[in-house]
Structure 1
Amino acid sequence: MDELVRWLGVQLDEDERTAREAGGAAWEELPVSGWVHTSPLPDTEWQPPGYDHHVASAPLSSDRAHIVRHDPARVLREIDAKQRIIQVHNARDSWGMCVACPRDEKGAMQVEIEDCPILRALALPYADRPGYKESWRP
């Protein structure tokens, strides 16, 4: 597996851990109070005591809307989507080449995995994290 793919997997694992520690549930705005709180989980999921709690206070409704839009539930969905994209790029054909990477008219891969524009784009939001290489920047 290539360095970019490994590094990106570590970033996604860290985001997943953080989102799960935050409860993994959706958040809702309480416009009257200026608070954002966790949404109740379905009855089928375990909830720690007092789970329905305030997670942020923001005086501006636009700030609360942004916080709600980027709740742990969305983060987990985004991680799942990114992991699926990476899985496609890790799939190899009978010659050991990435099945998703661009190819020339003869069927040869045009880029190495680390040069794949899709994987580079997936890594870009993590450019401020340790280990990111400027050579990965799209």
Structure 2
Amino acid sequence: MTFLKARLDRDEAVARACMGASWRVAPGGRVRVDAWPETAGDGQPEKQGFVASAENEAYVEHIVRNDPKQVLRRVVGQRRVVALYEKEQWARQRGVPGSGVLEDVLRGLASQYSDHPAYRSEWA
């Protein structure tokens, strides 16, 4: 549980550090962000920001699909599963039977971090 919570905390911190504007696919294998603020002090539109370039459009689309806002939504959803598991554990400690399914779900969520040095193979 501690491992998964720490990974989610890190995902959230990194995503928040990259926030500001929506990422989008731009021509030429580039990932752009929409300007923020929308206008400069003189009322003229700001130039669009550059995030990354990639070899092909599929790579660009993959990057955009994992923009900071999407990562934050994913973290929120996974934290909801963690909270359900903690509630189930609390109830089990008080004699209420549980299915154990949520533990399997958490193992599945943790597996996305299997390349992390703190990940344990027995969690698979």
TM-score bin (small chain)? 0.7 to 0.9
State TM-score, norm by structure 2.
0.78
Where does residue 80 of structure 1 map in the other structure? 76
Is the counterpart of residue 10 in structure 1 residue 6 in structure 2?
Answer: yes
Q: CA deviation at 1:37?
A: 1.2
8 Å CA contact 1:28, 1:68 repeated in 2: yes
After superposition, the Cα gap between the structure-2 partners of 1:134 and 1:94, relative to the gap in structure 1 and judged at 3 Å, is closer
2:97 alignment partner, one of 90, 94, 108: 108
For residue 23 of structure 1, report the CA deviation from its aligned partner.
1.4
Identity level (%): 32
Structure 1 residue 110, shift from structure 2 partner: 5.4
SS of the equivalent of 1:130 reads coil
In structure 2, do the counterparts of structure 1 residues 10 and 129 end up closer, same or farther at CA, with 3 Å as the change threshold? same
Tell me how far 1:108 sits from its aligned partner. 3.3
Say which structure is richer in helix. 2
- 1:29-108 aligned at under 5 Å gives the runs 29-31=25-27, 33-40=28-35, 52-91=48-87, 92-93=90-91, 95-96=93-94, 108=97
Q: Unpaired runs of 5+ in structure 1?
A: 44-49, 98-106
Could you tell me which amino acid in structure 1 is paired with residue 91 of structure 2?
D
TM-score by length of 1: 0.71
Amino acid at match of 2:63: I
Look up the equivalent residue of 1:34 and give its one-letter code. Answer: G
Counterparts of 1:15-34 in structure 2 under 5 Å? 15-23=11-19, 25-31=21-27, 33-34=28-29
Q: Deviations over 1:110-130 (max 9, x none)?
A: 5497xx211100100001112
Q: What is the CA distance between 1:26 and its match in structure 2?
A: 2.9
After superposing on structure 2, the runs of 4+ consecutive aligned residues of structure 1 that deviate more than 2 Å are 39-43, 92-97, 107-113
Structure 2, unmatched stretches of 5+, are 39-45
